[in-house]
Amino acid sequence: MNNLSPAELVLVKKACEITRDALNFCEKQIVPGITTKQLDNLVEKFIIESGGFPACKGYEGFPGAVCISVNEMVVHGIPSDSIVLQEGDIVSVDIVVKYKGYYGDGARTFPVGKISEDKAKLIEVTKQCFFEGIENLKVGHRLGEMSSAIQKYAESNGYSVVRELVGHGIGKNMHEPPNVPNYGKVTDGPIVTDNAVIAIEPMINMGRKEVWLLEDGWGVVTRDGKCSAHYENTVHITKDGIEIWTL
CB 143 within 8 A of CB 187: no
Q: How far apart are CA 234 and CA 12, in angstroms?
A: 9
CB 240 within 8 A of CB 79: no
Query: Residue 180 falls within a domain, yes or no?
Result: yes
Query: Residue 102 falls within a domain, yes or no?
Result: yes
pTM higher than 0.75, yes or no? yes
Query: Residue 57 falls within a domain, yes or no?
Result: yes
CB-based burial label for 221 (10 Å; 0-12, 13-18, 19+): buried
Query: Residue 41 falls within a domain, yes or no?
Result: yes
What stretch of H or E contains 67? strand 67-70
Query: Residue 1 falls within a domain, yes or no?
Result: no
Query: Residue 144 falls within a domain, yes or no?
Result: yes
**pLDDT, one tens digit for every residue, the chain (247 residues):** 888 999 999 999 999 999 999 999 999 999 999 999 999 999 999 999 999 999 999 999 999 999 999 999 999 999 999 999 999 999 999 999 999 999 999 999 999 999 999 999 999 999 999 999 999 999 999 999 999 999 999 999 999 999 999 999 999 999 999 999 999 999 999 999 999 999 999 999 999 999 999 999 999 999 999 999 999 999 999 999 999 999 9
CATH number at residue 225: 3.90.230.10
- Please count the structural domains in the chain: 1
The pLDDT, as a whole number, for residue 228 is 99
The pLDDT, as a whole number, for residue 3 is 85
Q: How far apart are CA 182 and CA 201, in angstroms?
A: 7
Residue 35's domain comprises 6-244
